[in-house]
Amino acid sequence: MTGEAKHHQLIEADAIGLLLVDAGHYATEHGFVDEIFMSLQSRVNELQLDLDFKKAKSEKAPYKTV
């Protein structure tokens, strides 16, 4: 499973009998945003760095599948 596969990679995988699932970046990353955000913020706090993280407010994929 991947978030990005090129056309020829999918064809090559099929030719050798490999199931390659291209689920897209949004679908494969969306479920982990809060966990990654909290982990980064925790690490920055541990290192006492002066960084501020902000999460995007969008809750939908930036494209439509037809």
Give dist(CA 45, CA 63) in Å, integer: 35
Residue 16 lies in a domain: no
Residue 13 lies in a domain: no
Residue 4 lies in a domain: no
Q: Give the count of domains, the chain.
A: 1
The pLDDT value recorded for residue 32 is: 84
pLDDT band at 66 (very low <50, low <70, confident <90, very high): low
Backbone angles phi, psi at 22, to 5 degrees: -105, 95
The pLDDT value recorded for residue 39 is: 93
Residue 49 lies in a domain: yes
Residue 58 lies in a domain: yes
Residue 53 lies in a domain: yes
The pLDDT value recorded for residue 28 is: 80
Decide: pTM greater than 0.75: no
Q: Whole domain around residue 42: which residue ranges? A: 25-66
Closest CA to 20 of 8, 37, 38, 34: 8
Residue 61 lies in a domain: yes
pLDDT in tens, 7-57: 999 999 999 999 998 888 777 888 888 898 899 999 999 999 998 878 777
Q: Would you call 65 exposed, middle or buried from its count of C-beta atoms within 10 A (0-12, 13-18, 19+)? A: exposed
Amino acid found at 53: F
